[in-house]
Amino acid sequence: MNLRIYEYILAVARTGHFGKAADDCNVSQPTLSQQIKKYEDYIGMPIFERDNKNVQLTRNGKELLPYLKTVLDANKTLRQAVQNLKNPEEGRLYLGAFPTLAPFYIPNVLPRLNKAFPKLNLFWVEERSPDLITLLKNGEIDAAFLALPLDTSDEFEVMPLFQEKLVAAVPASSSLARQKILSLKDLKDEPLLLLEDSHCLSGQALEACKWAGLKNRHDFRATSIETLRHMVGSGLGITLVPEMAVNTNFENVTYVPLKESNAQRTIGLVRRKTSPIKGMLDKVVDLLKYNPTKET
């Protein structure tokens, strides 16, 4: 069955008029009318009630309409998938990033991607790392920016991109704010504010701090870096933030570099080993291997 007939039926349902529907579909009205009548004969029931002035869906036609739309949507998705595979640089690319990376990283790299792939339709998904891994497994995204190392099965391929330092965010009114550089041991008497456990930054901060004896506040878990920033600004503790998340416009917080080399995070792009667009993703990785703290 020619799927164009489904388009004709949806057009008539939308416009309530065979002539207008024919114009929308760029066919003659007799052709559209004949094809719909032929389809009604084929399925053995009318889809439209007709008279000289009006046309409307029958009750069966109303029930049938969502299924016709589903078929057309699926066909459109299939055509798009074929186009993506034939020429990924002109198709759609779904990328994921976790919340403590996305708002700082994506605006920085998006101009690069748009310039390199002007015909590419980029779609971004911001979710926590466990959710991104699930989306990646299910094929709902093509790749994800994740913190490394990643505890995954053999189904993923990890492509490291860059390392980023963590810096101490301390109350501007504290003596720590007057230091040019700090050691994690200098912070051991300060309450450590962290994100919820499901945020990978929380684990990275704890990994960097555990040997120095820093004690985190178990009575508080933030949901975002901005919340942490306000808590630090209120004098309720200190935290570690990625270098790209530093916001010097926030007057009540001062950011101080750390001596420790392990106070950092590694970011990589993760894809399925079976991905049909590996070549395209290799180009993305080559493009984005840069120091994120420098202007692009």
Residues 201-241: tens digit of each pLDDT:
666 676 666 655 666 655 567 778 999 999 999 999 999 89
What's the domain count of the chain? 3
- Quick check: pTM over 0.75? no
Residue 137 included in any domain: yes
Domain assignment of residue 199, given as a range: 166-264
CB atoms within 10 A of CB 113: 18
| Residue where a domain terminates, one of 71, 86, 101 | 86
Which CATH number do you get for residue 227? 3.40.190.10
Same domain, 53 and 181: no
Same domain, 137 and 279: yes
Same domain, 248 and 110: no
Instruction: In whole angstroms, give the CA distance from residue 206 to residue 242.
Output: 13
Same domain, 270 and 151: yes
Residue 296 included in any domain: no
What are the distances in angstroms from CA 75 to CA 27, 142, 212? 21, 20, 58
Q: What is the structure's pLDDT at 210? A: 65
Residue 204 backbone dihedrals phi, psi, to 5 degrees: -65, -40
CB atoms within 10 A of CB 179: 15
Residue 276 has pLDDT above 90, yes or no: no
pLDDT tens-digit profile of 68-86?
A: 999 998 888 788 778 777 7
pLDDT tens-digit profile of 8-53?
A: 999 999 999 999 999 999 999 999 999 999 999 999 999 999 887 7
Low-confidence winner among 118-132, 195-209, 226-240, 250-264 (lowest mean pLDDT)? 195-209
CB atoms within 10 A of CB 60: 12
| 268 close to 146: Cβ distance less than 8 angstroms | yes
Same domain, 155 and 230: no
Residue 197 has pLDDT above 90, yes or no: no
Residue 111 included in any domain: yes
Average pLDDT of the residues of the chain: 87
